[in-house]
Amino acid sequence: MFDGLRKKLSEAVKGFIKREEKTIEKEEAQERRVEEKEKAKEEKPMVKVSLTTKIKGVISSSVSLNDSEIDGFLENIKVPLLESDVSYETTEAFLESLRVSLTEARVDSKNINKEMVALVRKALFNVLAKSGNGVDIVQFVKQRVESGNSPVKILFLGPNGTGKTTTMAKIAYMLKKNGISSVLSASDTFRAAAIEQTEHHANKVGVKAIKGKYGADPASIAFDAIAHAKANSINAVLIDTAGRQETNRNLISEMEKMVRVAKPDLIIFVGESTTGNQLTEQIKEFNKFMKIDGIVLTKLDCDVKGGNAISIAYMTGIPLLFLGTGESYDALVKYTPEFIVDAIMPNN
Ligand SMILES: Nc1nc2c(ncn2[C@@H]2O[C@H](COP(=O)(O)OP(=O)(O)OP(=O)(O)O)[C@@H](O)[C@H]2O)c(=O)[nH]1
Ligand SMILES: [Mg+2]
């Protein structure tokens, strides 16, 4: 899923390292020649190695890169990032962070590969840090239940076909595995077969779905689902919604009404990884109308590029919560910056 980006980045690092190693070999050979000449000049039979000389010895095994070497490296790494759906602004931020580290660093010439990888990883972590930590849904629901604040209401929204209904079912499955009960609200009363789809998932996962008729007010179905959860001491209500574009004013108003009526504790945006850079804009637009608490990025298993997660974290500042990695109920990976960084630039 991150294969494209991983290959391109590691090629750029390796290409640079090969060139660097050649330069270092040349420099080391030159240093050795100078040292041998110096030694030959020495007349004293015993040379006391002072602490300074020892320290110099350590330092001479490391190199600092000059500006043109850094520029060359950054330029080589820029194209693969842009080609892998990392947005221009995000790429610039990443390269700037890497430039600072490279300028400050003295790279151990014997460990150049490992150290360059560590610097690239550090820059990736810096960029991903912009979005902060997301809520841990299982812990969140547990705490609310313990403090008597249940049912917890979680609303799923996003454009058409991104995986909202499937993700809702995956989350019901995850909650169930953690001993948390939930009910699904079949609030997509618009798309043909959407209600049956929610029911199908509910049956498979072993939870109940609350439904109404096609064309019914989606907010009223959510209202019924919340009432059902209250009456039956169910911990969480997961509310499905019909897919909508951020540009459709009527459907956005309908969603605003849903939010007013259902008063969700968490609003989760479900976006498809393969959408490319446009996804960031979609999220920002939705977020203008209702505050998004977290993002699920789906279909990463179908995305050969894999750079979108980095852009979203950096450009929206909204935490990523999960990554969808397949169609089965357990194909939902909890997002951590480590997961992305390990996938893109693994430690050797
Ligand atoms: N490969 C893969 N497929 C997924 C993933 N998540 C969802 N899908 C598939 O994507 C298709 C659409 O999923 P839905 O859950 O119906 O999407 P939706 O956003 O609810 O769609 P609408 O309600 O029509 O807007 C289904 O075939 C899902 O099985 C994922 O992470 N990976
Ligand atoms: Mg759906």
Which domains are seen in the chain, by residue range?
3-131 (1.20.120.140), 137-344 (3.40.50.300)
What does the pLDDT look like over 71-123, one tens digit per residue? 888 988 888 888 888 999 999 999 999 999 988 887 776 777 788 889 999 99
CB of 326 within 6 A of ligand 1: the answer is yes
- Does 20 score more than 70 pLDDT? no
What is the residue with the minimal CA distance to atom 1 of ligand 1?
326
Q: Using a 6 Å cutoff on CB, does residue 159 contact ligand 1? A: no
Cβ-Cβ contacts under 8 Å for 124 (sequence gap 6 or more) = 94, 310, 337, 340, 341, 344, 345
Least-confidence region, from 70-74, 123-127, 253-257: 70-74
Question: Which ligand is the nearest neighbour of the Cα of 243?
Answer: 1
Is residue 217 pLDDT above 50, yes or no? yes
**Ligand 1 pocket check for 325: Cβ under 6 Å:** yes
Pocket test for ligand 1, best of 254, 327, 332 (most atoms within 8 A of CB): 327
Average pLDDT on 324-343 reads: 95
Ramachandran angles phi, psi of 321, nearest 5°: -105, -45
The overall pTM is greater than 0.85? yes
> Which of 157, 162, 166 has most ligand 1 atoms within 8 Å of CB, for mutation?
166
Q: How close is the Cα of 282 to the center of ligand 2, in Å?
A: 18
* pLDDT the model gives residue 326: 97
Q: Is 75 in the pocket of ligand 1 (CB under 6 A)?
A: no
> pLDDT at residue 312 above 90?
yes
For residue 166, give the ligand nearest its CA.
Answer: 1
Report the chain's mean pLDDT, rounded to a whole number: 88
